Structure 1
């Protein structure tokens, strides 16, 4: 991946939802100007969600999600609908297609998005095939949903210009994602990035949080210096003045912290992503509650990546080892990856999430909300490691403040 690529996790997610053969795939092809989704008259052609990244003028980098019909049937259909619900949780703006006068399912999904605080744009699609251009159905939708749907046609491009304008109007207020480094550094500051090149970062590559953070520092006009853990002492010795900030991989906190100059701020990529992708206040509270857990506590560790488990993997080996050393060998640890996240969290005393560089913020916050609703504390890798090492009060947070015990 090049430094100027926008990853899926940092794109606005626009999801298309409706019944089978409602015209979702045709519309996504019209919106993207490409054959991004398979179009067929056979119901149920779309199975797993299809993601298509592109740039939209006036909005920026987006990813369209084509989903399976939410009226799918049978055992396989249930699995497809489950995938559709999963896609809905990461959707920033939902395009809801109405295709018939019986619209109980559509109204149910509209309520689901309302609870998720997700803007919904109602549509009547394929209007070129309707004798009246879809106006009668639009009237019915307006009476039921109290919102006038847009009339669109993928075939003759009717309504697409209006739909683009609606997308701009529907942009969430927090669409502009927060800065990764926040107020910790500014133009002209020297920032040292400590990036262990171990099994987590295969030869020739940097892991995604390192790439994204480095790019932001360059955009800010900072002087960014990169080194591995074993070269940090020499890197600091070669500087005329101490750097403003050191950003390290969380698993290197133990080695980096003793080398930190007195007036230099210290944080980690994962700590930065706790605010960039998640809920910092809730994660800090979770890190504090981590230290109060009993030796037989039940903890869920959630990774966004779906890579094959590696030797000395941070989520599966290093973090569990640190947890058991601090809290006791009787801990119960469950580990999930990718989007395999249990909806029922009540059996857990704590959830520890990775930095979530592969997920968009909407999806991470949906997981945080589920934890909050069930009363389960949640934190992330970087904050939990700092807490377990006893250095959380010394770790700088993206808003420039220091951790204060709650």
Structure 2
């Protein structure tokens, strides 16, 4: 079951610490499986290792076994950098201490975790190798401190419970994409264009998740391409409670859907589900302030082969340039990479973040706020430059 959940809705738990602290052994003990290579040789784990797991009552989670933060040399620095990238998108961190207990490495690590506002647990591993009461660790007022043993299983269940208790509230209570906008028995019309960018034989993840939630709400979902809207509306015996459109065709869809029918886009739904819709709408206002020569960052959560009319790399830059009449410079960052020199950008236009968890999206938004850079998302930006933003966000503020 855990392998079926989309990556972007999983709780991410990172095990971090020095080399040979027993992170790999501990992740094996937590999951009950030998998924990480274990050795007494320091530095055995080179790249982050992910393991999907069902941690009830939270549901599907991903554990990350990471390289030691005291790794050395040029290659070691790259491994440490990869570990910090995992930490950046983690919802919960487990700081694993070795036999030496708390050292300067862990203290610096804990300080970084606190700055990122990540809930964490301190797990002093290898309790089976220590005399009872030897080298006690000072209590941490911000986090539980547990003595554990991956070898004999000591306090591993307590560590699992501590992870569950530390999880952000949205993982303990269901977060809705569309369910609060519709009622049981409602009809929802979904408009999905099939163009060059549409994957063969399937729908994209936001469309699938929205359709699934419509069914979970005991409502009825109908899918059409943009030129079939009128036929679909004529076939309903009552007005749909909501129309959800792909952002790329929102201008024509807005013209075809009567004003008394609520209308939004898949990407706008995800702006709320994965981020903060109010702030992303406010960020779209920065489009009106762009000047010649300004740089705009296009943020993509997943790496993909771009096609001739790619939404982020071609269409949005074209529409924004036409709307502003300015000579703008666009740069694309894909996957989990996010530039360190954000200050050079006047605006970030981010995708719907279906492949990111909400923690990472909110952290990206917070990083933009710290650097005084406005951020919006694809659907909100497209609706802004197409002149339909007020209508698209209206369903969320009824």
Count of aligned residue pairs for this structure pair: 396
| Number of the residue aligned with 1:260 | 257
148, 152, 155: which one aligns with 2:148: 152
Distance 1:288 1:329 in 2: 15
| Structure 1 residues 72 and 241: alpha-carbon distance in aligned structure 2, compared to 1, 3 A threshold | same
| Number of the residue aligned with 1:65 | 64
Structure 2 unmatched ranges of 5 or more: none
Point out 4+ residue stretches in structure 1 off by more than 3 angstroms. 143-148
1:381 aligns with 2:378: yes
| Structure 1 residues 37 and 169: alpha-carbon distance in aligned structure 2, compared to 1, 3 A threshold | same
Distance 2:334 2:286 in 1: 23
1:117 aligns with 2:117: yes
Distance 2:394 2:82 in 1: 35
Using the TM superposition, give the Cα deviation of residue 202 of structure 1 relative to its aligned residue in structure 2, in angstroms.
1.9
Aligned pairs (5 A) from 1:246-257: 246-257=243-254
| Number of the residue aligned with 1:22 | 21
Contact 2:242/2:262 (<8 A) preserved: yes
Distance 2:144 2:343 in 1: 41
1:282 aligns with 2:282: no
| Number of the residue aligned with 1:136 | 134
| Number of the residue aligned with 2:316 | 319
Structure 1 length-normalised TM: 0.93
Contact 2:248/2:382 (<8 A) preserved: yes
| Number of the residue aligned with 1:47 | 46
Q: Deviations over 1:311-368 (max 9, x none)?
A: 2110011111111111235111111111121022111100000000000011111111
SS in 1 for 2:13: strand
Contact 2:36/2:65 (<8 A) preserved: yes
- Give the RMSD, CA atoms, in angstroms: 2.0
Aligned pairs (5 A) from 1:336-375: 336-375=333-372
Distance 1:95 1:368 in 2: 24
| Structure 1 residues 147 and 8: alpha-carbon distance in aligned structure 2, compared to 1, 3 A threshold | closer
Distance 2:15 2:261 in 1: 47
| Number of the residue aligned with 1:238 | 235
Contact 2:121/2:143 (<8 A) preserved: no
| Structure 1 residues 380 and 362: alpha-carbon distance in aligned structure 2, compared to 1, 3 A threshold | same
| Number of the residue aligned with 2:107 | 107
Q: Deviations over 1:250-295 (max 9, x none)?
A: 0010221111123111111110111111121211111112122123
Distance 2:74 2:104 in 1: 21
Distance 2:369 2:96 in 1: 31
Distance 1:397 1:29 in 2: 48
Structure 1 unmatched ranges of 5 or more: none
SS in 1 for 2:112: helix
Distance 1:147 1:330 in 2: 50
| Number of the residue aligned with 1:401 | 397
Aligned pairs (5 A) from 1:198-237: 198-237=195-234
Structure 2 length-normalised TM: 0.95
Using the TM superposition, give the Cα deviation of residue 234 of structure 1 relative to its aligned residue in structure 2, in angstroms.
1.3
Contact 2:179/2:217 (<8 A) preserved: no
Q: Which moved more, 1:376-385 or 1:175-184?
A: 175-184
